[in-house]
A and B are shown apart, each in its own frame.
Chain A
Amino acid sequence: MNIVVCVKQIPDPADPGALDPESKTLKRDGKLILDESDSYGVEMALQLVGDSGEVTLVSMAPNGEVSGLRTALAMGAAKAVLVSDDALKGSDALTTAKVLAAAIGKAGEYDLVLAATESSDGYTGVVPEQIAAVLGLPSVTFAKAVSVDGGTVKVDRQTEAGYDEVTCPLPAVVSVTAGVVEPRYPSFKGIMAAKSKPVDQLALADLGIEAANAGWAGAGQEIVEVAAAAQREAGEIIEDDGEAHAKIVDFLSNLKVI
């Protein structure tokens, strides 16, 4: 079984990010790292293929960035496809999905596509479903457990009340939630091996996508304004005069949490 995993490379959340005032989007010119959300997909894929298949990574990122891909290759993925092109600047989620879908087409034979439910920086949470639509594949979201049995994938799909057991024919696109598996640490040997694993770098033209349909030009989405989030209001302090517990109970029942 072969699995393709979409991995997004994002600015390190540990470094304070900045918005570009011109484009009103996140600055992505520094070093990018593997989105932690995607490390779960990578781990899940590695566990599912075991010794009898390959995990291929697919990513779209600016400036030919491969650092995040190297991390996932060091974890054990076999190869990667990276799409990087200046004409992609300003691409919205749908364009991203079209580009990734085309890149998945270059990743060789596959049985399953995994992605994260949402990325850590953009978190629109729509790309995996859009990829499925572009590829004409079934899509299962919010997976908290995934297993493959012959030609079908079984997914425990997280819901507000519990989870649904979903069965779906392969190939399919499944988005996994954070924490579903324990991502392995890239080992020293994995890091060394990743050095020589192939990363296929593609431009838009290689995917047969016109520049006019990508980037700012192709975006059906426009960022009109960026505003600072409202300051959090100070909490209410309840002094214990012997009756504090009653006030706390009232407070919580007003919130309808008890």
Chain B
Amino acid sequence: MTLFTEEHDLFRKTLRDFVEREINPHAEEWEQAGTFPAHELFAKLGDLGVLGLTYDPAYGGGGSDYGYVAIMAEEFGRMPCLGVAMAIGVQTDMATPSLHRFGSHELKQKYLAPAIRGEHVAAVGVTEPDAGSDVAGIRTKGVRDGDEWVINGSKTFITSGTQADWVCLLVRTSEEGGSRGISQIIVPTDTPGFQVSGKLDKLGMRSSDTAVLTFDDMRVPVSNTIGEIGRGFQQQMSQFQDERMIAAYQMVGAMEYALERTADYLKQRIAFGQPLMANQHLAYELADLASEVDLLKYYNYHAAAAQTRGDDITRFATVAKLRSARLARRVADVCLQFHGGVGYIGETWTARFFRDTRLWSIGGGADEIMLRTLARMGGFWAE
């Protein structure tokens, strides 16, 4: 079975060049600013045709297989500012999959097509101050008034929240409770009553802006509902699978890059009269980690094939997300450790990498939630 063709290889090279020239020179500036110019960067990514690789060409998508998504994410994982990679992931695989999968033609024309072109910046609004892992606990409420939803509530930790043009918002639209009666609604951020009530300071992923949003009698057309009214929870669970895979794909690229950079450093740093890399302990530890990254990479490629076939990828996505997040924490720790004191200094990449990768055991479904899902799927469960 050939996974990748000559076109996949050329695509990878294009993205590597793009990251090197269009992103890396700005990494420091964006990290300092606590945000990056999403509209400017996404317009360039739209020209590259990477903001809707697998999406329907009728809306400007590429109609590609998920191998291209894996390659794109691996290459974006090689950025020295992973917050930007995360925000791109939100645009391509966290805020738009439901719209593409379940949205009406009109809704896709109005919101998906400009997101694919990079004209609109998209965000996904699920987490609330009182409901994160327990998605069915959300309280943001939409009450129907004729052809409109009147929405009240708030969301927190929303990536790109300060600069988004629209939010794929998870809203409780009936009194049924639990996971029933929840809907996904596209909310333009210029809707009266929409407010960015805060920008959060974070441990890592500092190049990405993270917002608290509040909604006060916000009126949105009922036709902005994605798919079926009341099926939002199920649709969001499906959207989470794409989200988890994009994180896992990115982590592979990020870890490979970190191990390469650490190897370069160990080869040129001399201690006890020889390069640090001449110490078997250091070399074997890196080789060990690289072997685990390999396993994850090829596991991911199987997941990509399953995604392309349209299979249910819940197990793939859950395993990949859990393993990649945990492995990234180990890789980050080892890379920092092997750099010694300089590894702990703020301006060395290892410090930021350590802070950035820490997110993935929490965001996109925490490790414990992945374990909860896997325990249930594997029969390791009792009521």
Contacts and interface: CB of A to CB of B under 8 A. Distances in A.
Nearest to A183: B17
Given A67-B6, A70-B6, A185-B48, A191 B17 contact: no
Interface string B1-34: 0000011001101100110000000000000000
A188 B68 contact: yes
Size class of the B contact interface (CB-based, 8 Å): 10 to 19
Interface string A188-206: 1111101100000000000
B123 interface: no
Contact of B53 (A33, A67, A71, A188): A188
Given A185-B48, A187-B47, A192 B17 contact: no
Nearest to B8: A191
A195 B8 CA distance: 11
A71 B7 CA distance: 9
A70 B17 contact: no
Please report whether the interface of chain A is mostly helix, strand, loop or mixed according to DSSP.
Answer: helix
B49 interface: yes
B5 to A, nearest CB: 9
Given A67-B6, A185-B48, A191 B18 contact: no
A125 interface: no
Contacts of B14: 74, 185-187, 191
Interface in B32-61: 47-50, 53
B10 A191 contact: yes
Size class of the A contact interface (CB-based, 8 Å): 10 to 19
A188 B6 contact: no
A187 B7 CA distance: 11
A195 B7 CA distance: 8
A19 B303 CA distance: 42
A48 B353 CA distance: 44
Given A188-B62, A192-B62, A74 B47 contact: no
Interface of A: 33, 67, 70-71, 74, 185-192, 194-195
Q: What 3 pairs across the A-B complex have the smallest Cβ distances?
A: A188-B49, A187-B49, A189-B49
19 contacts: A33-B13, A67-B6, A67-B10, A71-B10, A74-B10, A185-B47, A185-B48, A186-B14, A187-B14, A187-B49, A188-B48, A188-B50, A188-B68, A189-B49, A189-B62, A190-B49, A191-B7, A194-B7, A195-B7
Interface of B: 6-7, 10-11, 13-14, 17-18, 47-50, 53, 62, 64, 68
Given A185-B18, A188-B53, A191-B11, 6 more contacts: A33-B13, A67-B6, A74-B10, A187-B14, A188-B64, A189-B62
